[in-house]
Each structure stands twice: as C-alpha cells, then as structure tokens.
Structure 1
C-alpha cells in the first residue's frame, strides 16, 4: 500500500509531501483543511458521560468547526467492529470513521483488515506496550473494574468479589453491558474470575463464568445492562463497571449517594484503544480527531472524565496535570494491586467468556 493511499488523501503534492514528513502533518493547516472539506466525523459508542467524551466532542467541534455524527452511544466494542464490517461499501452516515474499543479488539480488527494505520504526532510518548508497532491501533486511556453502589439502597458496600454472593445483595448486581459483546462486561467477568482463581490468569475466564453462574443461581444477578438510571432507581443498585464511569456518576448522581469501591482482589486494569476504519468515509477528519485526542488538550479532557490517559506519565513528568484534577482521583493505593492482562490473556479470557456465557450462565443480558 502506498503512503498516499495510507493517508487517504487525494493526489495533492503538498499534502503528500507533508505526509511523508510523518508527525509534521499533525494538526497542520493542510490536515485541517482536508478534514473541513470532508465536513464531518462519524463516531460510534461514545456516551457523553463516558470518560468525559461530552467535553471531548464539544472541544473538537469548537476547535475545528466540524460536525460530529454520533452513532449508537451505548454500543459495545463488538458492535463497533461489526459496524465497520457492515458498512464496508457505505459512505453514508451509518459508516463509522473511528472506533474506541477494548484492547483485545485492536489486533483482531487489524488481522481482519478493518482498520488502517496512522501515527499521531505524540506517538513517541505512548508506551510501546500499549500500541501496535505499525500504528494500526493505540491505547487511549485505562481504568480498573470497580463496584458502583447506590448507598441509599445498599447499606454496606461489598469490599470484594466474593461479597457479591451474600444474601444482602439479592437481585442487586448487574454488569454494564452484554458479556457476549461488550468489552466492559467481558472484563467484569474476567476480573471476578481472576479473584476466584487466586490471580491465575489462565483460569480467569472459566472461573468468571462459574462465578456469574453461581451469582445468577443465587438470585443476586440482574440480567440487564446496568446504567446510572437503573442504579438511581434501585433496579440495579450495584453495577460492575470501569471506575471512571462510576466516579463520573458519583459526581452527577442527582442526589443519589453513590459509593465507588475498588475490590480487594481481582483488580483488573483495562486499556481501551483507538483506531481508524479502513473504510472511513472521512479519513482526514479521522486523523485530525486522533491528533486532538492525543494532544495534551485531549488527554487532559479524558483525565477530567476520570480516565487515566495513556500519556499520563509524560504529562505528569512535564508538570502538565492540574493539581485539582489529581485531587479528584481515588488514592494511589487503591490501584496498587491492579493487573494489566496481556493481549494473549485477554484474548483467551474473551474467547472463553463470549463462547461460554449462554451455556454456563444462561442469563441473556438486555
């Protein structure tokens, strides 16, 4: 594939020259002009209360004057990948330009030819372990699985995964997605399994399925997608979800007393990744979006939404993280036991959980 095709830019010598300079193309006027000519960006699965995406999208629109077409905010990672597949020949509004998916979905999307490479100008400050060497996908932010608890309903918050099996939590516990397709839910099952298996990653998938099977048989599992509305209404007073989502709900709970608990064991850190569709109808807008997300400005907007941006260490080293943002995060010791599963471990866990959920747990999450 030629570099010109790789960049998805028309045969304009000035743009080709800039592209050959790599990072010099970042947010250049050439890229901005090319993106504005396309007119819009199509994103998918970006709820405004997830990781501060409301402010991120608003900031991008204000900075560059592009429209942002937002598809299916509640979609899971699997749905995002399927949306690319389903719209390969479609340049209309249902074709996503970019995706934000769980780490394990990046390599598979690359293998299936669904995403295209692009290295942002801040590429060097993204840890090597959190990016594809060829630029097909790269980590954007991370968090840990936590318990979000409605304290107006649940008087004593669970401290660890095993606590969820107690009689006190009858008809109370939900996942924040369908564990057959949504990365957040898959990782929730994996984290429970890692705790039950004593930290043995090889057994985490199967152990997680058994844990949720027991939870379901006990009558503690609620087979609906847990959201802030169901939490505040008391329908799902305990939700297993990423800490950044739970912390955002804590601030915006509209009077509900919300507790956020990082479990004592099975503390699984999840890295999400960005990628550009190989069939993006607006490839230059997609590249400009990536440049914005990985700029200091974009990274700090994610941190404002309680996500640890992938360039956090670089920002902290250069004293670019405002003290007021750091003060709102949980204490560092809450994350001391955090485990970052390898790609192979995630892939094995994902395969076991998605394939075995119906047979082992038998609860259709809707």
Structure 2
C-alpha cells in the first residue's frame, strides 16, 4: 500500500501483522537438456520455488522465453516502482513489463485477475492490501523466493501464498503555499481553513490506502483497530463541513493545486514533494500526526492463473533481492527484509541513516481486523459520507 516523518526522510513501521491463511499447490520437476543444463520446459505455473524446478538459471531461461510480465496498480512514484521496473528490464532485457492501471486500487487488481482470467493481459503478480487479499486467497499461487528465511515468519504465509513487501505510515501531505497553517492531526482538517481542500486515495471500500485514512481517523477519535466506526463518522463530518474533495489525488492534481491536502502513505507524500525532483511540488510537505502511528504492509503474491508464470516468479526473486529492498527503503518505505539486511550487512547504510530507523511500535490491522473493517466500510461508508 505511505510514509511518515519530516521533509528530509520518514520513519516508517516494521511491525508484523497476523499471518493470513495461504493456499497450497504442488511443484513440478524441472527437465534438463542434452548438455545437462537446466531447461526452460518445466511447468513454472506450479513451481513453489526456483530450486524445486531447476534453479535460477532455468527460471531466467523460461522467463526470457515468455518475454512478458504483467504488473498492475504500480505508479512510478509509488515506493520507487519507476526505478524498480526499469531495473528489472535492464537486468532482464528479454522481458518487457506491461504496467496496467497504475492509479488503480487493490480491488482493481482482483477484478482484473477475475475478468481477464485465461487472457494474456491478466496480471501476473499482485502488490495488494491485506483486507482485499484476505478475501481472495484463491487467486494466489504459493511460491517461496530464494531468501525466504529473510522475511519474518509473521510477515508471510507458511506455504508461500503471500508475503509482505514494504510498509509506510499514514500521513498528511499539504501544499504550504495554499495551506499556510500546517495540519497537525486529522482533527485539524475539520477546520474552516481546509474547506474544499482534503482528498484521500479513492474509495475506502475498494482501496487499502483510502481505508487506512479512515483507520487513522478512527485512532484519533476514540476508535481502534477493532473499531473503525469513529473513523467513518469522522469522514461524515469532514464531508458535511465541505472540506472533503471527491477527486482522486495524483501528482498532477497536487501540482495543479486541485488537491491541496492529501491523506496517504508517507512514502507517496514524500515522492510528490521536493524528493520528486522536477516532477514534484516544491511546496509539498509531509506531516505524521502525533500519537498512535498507523502502518500497513502491502503484500506480494503471484496470480494462480498468471499468463507468464516464470516471469512472475522471477519478478518476486528480483523484488526480494537486497538491491530492490533498498530501493523501497530509499523511497521511505520500510522493506520486509530490513532486519535481515541490517544483520547481514546488505542494507544501504547511507539510505537508512537518511530515512531513519523504523518505529518500534505502531498499529497495523491484522487480517481478521482488516476483514471486519472492510465489511463495516461496505455497509456504512456510502450512507455516512454523502
């Protein structure tokens, strides 16, 4: 799913969520050619690890033969995905990445997987929020990356059905030129100074990031991970006050002034400000509200019906390499393998020093809590936030 700190860097969270229940599959044996080298003819659609199907050389060969990888809902500015995608294509020039619906939601990922099942355009991999994932575990194929042990036990399904990739903290981004008074909390946004200025990242019943804005509001207003009703009521008040915009915020809407205040993950707010270079808004600042911090890991998973199953598995191997985990970190998103990288010396120390250590504690909804919250949002959001 975004960052929290000050303008220079952001302290995010690395606490674990309760494990979801994954799916199970069986692996197939790899074949070898006449020279004894691994062949690309093994069935990668059921491979649960590279080693179970001929190793990395066989995986790369099979992925090159497929020549395509379909990703979905990965904006270039989100958690450094622009650089991550470019790095994959440079490392594996025989594979073209097709990036669909970059501004879409977790629910859009599921919809695409279901509606495009059996088609070459279906997503191969997911980068998906916990609540949506927990309701669609039948869509994922178990696979364990080579450094599986580096991912904390609580941050992955035992069978490899899903695994955390990165987390941030919910934050408030604002244009200091358009909003002279810096917001200090979600409660601040109810004031008249924010009339017609506040946006969230989509529909909370569909998008994890938008739902997390509701969770943060709940924590500030007497709610908890087990009770997000106060957050829904807060947004009802925000809407009634005329402060809430019905606009999906993007870098473009921030730069144009259409969305002067955005509640989203800190790493996204940071990327839309000076850290975004010429594409960013130099007046954009990020505030992490004081009090209880809210984080949420996004999950990596492979589509069980991936049209390019080898490329999908190669992508996961790439994502969990120290190079890419450090790219997450550089964006202000704390990667799942951070603790292991600090221990084995593969973390980029200069980047970590700039971003800052991850907070020792924060609130993250467990899979059960996220599912309960999703049900409540579905039943109460539209009637409350009119």
Query: What is the TM-score when the length of structure 2 is the normalising length?
Result: 0.85
Separation in structure 1 between the aligned mates of residue 151 and residue 132 of structure 2, nearest angstrom: 18
Q: Do the aligned residues in 2 keep the contact of 1:192 with 1:266 (CA within 8 Å)?
A: no
Partner of 1:304: 330
Q: CA deviation at 1:22?
A: 5.7
Give the 4+ runs in structure 1 shifted more than 3 A: 9-27
Q: Do the aligned residues in 2 keep the contact of 1:141 with 1:309 (CA within 8 Å)?
A: yes
The correspondence for 2:299, drawn from 273, 298, 303, is 273
Partner of 1:240: 263
Q: CA deviation at 1:23?
A: 4.5
The correspondence for 1:218, drawn from 241, 250, 253, is 241
| Offset from partner CA, 1:4-40 (integer Å, 9 cap, x none) | 2xx9x78989566996886576971110001011111
Q: Do the aligned residues in 2 keep the contact of 1:41 with 1:67 (CA within 8 Å)?
A: yes
Separation in structure 1 between the aligned mates of residue 107 and residue 139 of structure 2, nearest angstrom: 13
Partner of 1:100: 127
Separation in structure 2 between the aligned mates of residue 207 and residue 64 of structure 1, nearest angstrom: 48
The correspondence for 1:343, drawn from 361, 364, 367, is 367
Which blocks of at least 5 consecutive residues in structure 1 are unaligned?
none
Separation in structure 2 between the aligned mates of residue 131 and residue 221 of structure 1, nearest angstrom: 36
Which blocks of at least 5 consecutive residues in structure 2 are unaligned?
1-24
Separation in structure 2 between the aligned mates of residue 20 and residue 248 of structure 1, nearest angstrom: 35
Query: What is the TM-score when the length of structure 1 is the normalising length?
Result: 0.89
Q: Which has the higher contact order (CA 8 A, sep 6+)?
A: 2
- Give the stretch that moved more between structures: 101-110 or 178-187: 101-110
Q: CA deviation at 1:233?
A: 2.0
Partner of 1:120: 145
- SS for the counterpart of 2:362 is coil
Q: CA deviation at 1:86?
A: 0.7
- SS for the counterpart of 2:128 is strand
After superposition, the CA RMSD in angstroms is 2.4
Q: CA deviation at 1:235?
A: 1.7
Partner of 2:230: 207
Q: CA deviation at 1:50?
A: 0.4
Separation in structure 2 between the aligned mates of residue 195 and residue 159 of structure 1, nearest angstrom: 12
- SS for the counterpart of 2:114 is helix
Query: Does the alignment pair 1:43 with 2:67?
Result: no
Separation in structure 2 between the aligned mates of residue 337 and residue 300 of structure 1, nearest angstrom: 22
Q: CA deviation at 1:267?
A: 2.0
- SS for the counterpart of 1:328 is helix
The correspondence for 1:63, drawn from 88, 91, 105, is 91
Q: CA deviation at 1:107?
A: 2.8
The correspondence for 2:116, drawn from 79, 87, 103, is 87
Q: CA deviation at 1:347?
A: 1.4
Q: Do the aligned residues in 2 keep the contact of 1:24 with 1:121 (CA within 8 Å)?
A: no
Separation in structure 1 between the aligned mates of residue 210 and residue 48 of structure 2, nearest angstrom: 41
Separation in structure 2 between the aligned mates of residue 130 and residue 163 of structure 1, nearest angstrom: 34
Partner of 2:9: none
Give the direction of change, closer, same or farther, for the CA distance of 1:360–1:129 in structure 2 (3 Å limit). Answer: same
| Offset from partner CA, 1:174-227 (integer Å, 9 cap, x none) | 1022222111001111111122125x32222x1111000000001111111112
Separation in structure 1 between the aligned mates of residue 48 and residue 256 of structure 2, nearest angstrom: 55
Separation in structure 2 between the aligned mates of residue 361 and residue 11 of structure 1, nearest angstrom: 60
Q: Do the aligned residues in 2 keep the contact of 1:191 with 1:208 (CA within 8 Å)?
A: yes
